[in-house]
Amino acid sequence: MFEFLFEIVIEILIQLFFEALVELGLQSMAEPFRRPPNPWLAALGYGLLGLIAGGISLWLFPTYLVGGETLRIVNLVLTPVAVGLLMCLMGAWRAHRGQPVLRIDRFAYGYLFALALALTRFAFAD
């Protein structure tokens, strides 16, 4: 049981790490593009970025970190929700500090990014 919890924490940390990298890059590019983009195009962009991050994570960690098909499915469902909630909390923290809040700092976009990453790992990890 402890091993499963450790593996879930590692999966969450991997996805959170990639989301933080994306957010860092987006924060640096956000200033010139102040007008809000189309939310559907933004969702598509975050989905594509999640797929790319999933591919990069497969290069770094080619094996699946959670053993067993059932646990992989549970991980596929729970990890994106946890990462989406963490991104939502990060957005609230940023707003409280007066910093700009990007779309990925909201639950839906954070969840979408993490889901695309998790689906890529689910489909292609060894």
pLDDT on residue 31: 46
Q: Is residue 97 part of a domain?
A: yes
Answer for the pair 49, 113: CB distance below 8 angstroms, yes or no.
yes
Q: Is residue 59 part of a domain?
A: yes
Q: Is residue 106 part of a domain?
A: yes
Tell me the residue range of the domain where 69 lies.
Answer: 2-26+38-124
Q: Is residue 101 part of a domain?
A: yes
Query: Tens of pLDDT along 12-60?
Result: 888 888 888 777 766 655 544 556 667 787 788 888 888 989 999 999 9
Q: Is residue 33 part of a domain?
A: no
Q: Which amino acid is at 89?
A: L
Cα dist from 67 to 4, 5, 56, 70, 78, whole Å: 8, 11, 21, 8, 15
Q: Is residue 65 part of a domain?
A: yes
Q: Is residue 56 part of a domain?
A: yes
- Per-residue tokens: 83: 């990462």
pLDDT on residue 35: 65
- Per-residue tokens: 18: 């990639």
Counting the structural domains of the chain, the total is 1
Q: Is residue 117 part of a domain?
A: yes
